[in-house]
Amino acid sequence: MAIPTKIRLEFVTPERAIVHDEVDELQLPGEEGFLGVLPGHTPMLVGLKVGEMWYRKGSEMFYGFVGFGFAEILPDRVTILARIAEKADDIDLERAEAAKRRAEEHLAAVSRSPVTDMDYERARLALLRAITRLQVSRHTRTR
């Protein structure tokens, strides 16, 4: 059996499809670290954390934001089922900046008062999501 030359990327959230395309390679923010995928990759199931993902078609790079979920990796196909996801082009910069400010304020308030670990973790994750969205959105603004 020949090694595939492309990967069919299916990237969806519960609300909508993000990407359905043939790509040359991609990188995902796995729970154990970033994972690069090329055609012919060994089959596996990977948990995803909050982070930046990218994929390449020829010499063109595309970026996206992923917030939790799973990726099924097969030799010729990758299916990403994400709880939260956006393409870099779709990120509203003003909204992301406002979310970052709110998360920073909430984290500061949580740090000053007696709270549960859960409150702190929620505030930390909100800040991480906002910062990551801003980082991902900057890829489209620098082209």
Per residue in 67-83, pLDDT tens?
A: 999 999 999 999 999 99
The CATH superfamily label for domain 92-141 reads ATP synthase delta/epsilon subunit, C-terminal domain (1.20.5.440)
| Concatenated DSSP letters of the chain | -PPPSSEEEEEE-SS-EEEEEEESEEEEEETTEEEEE-TTPPPEEEEE-SEEEEEEETTEEEEEEEEEEEEEEETTEEEEEEEEEEEGGG--HHHHHHHHHHHHHHHHHHHHS---HHHHHHHHHHHHHHHHHHHHHHHHHT-
pLDDT in tens, 43-68: 999 999 999 999 999 999 999 999 99
Low-confidence ranges of the chain (pLDDT < 50): 143
User: Tell me, what's the pLDDT at 142?
Assistant: 52
Q: What fold does the segment set 7-89 form as a domain?
A: ATP Synthase; domain 1 (2.60.15)
pTM (2 decimals)? Answer: 0.82
Q: Where are the domains of the chain?
A: 7-89, 92-141
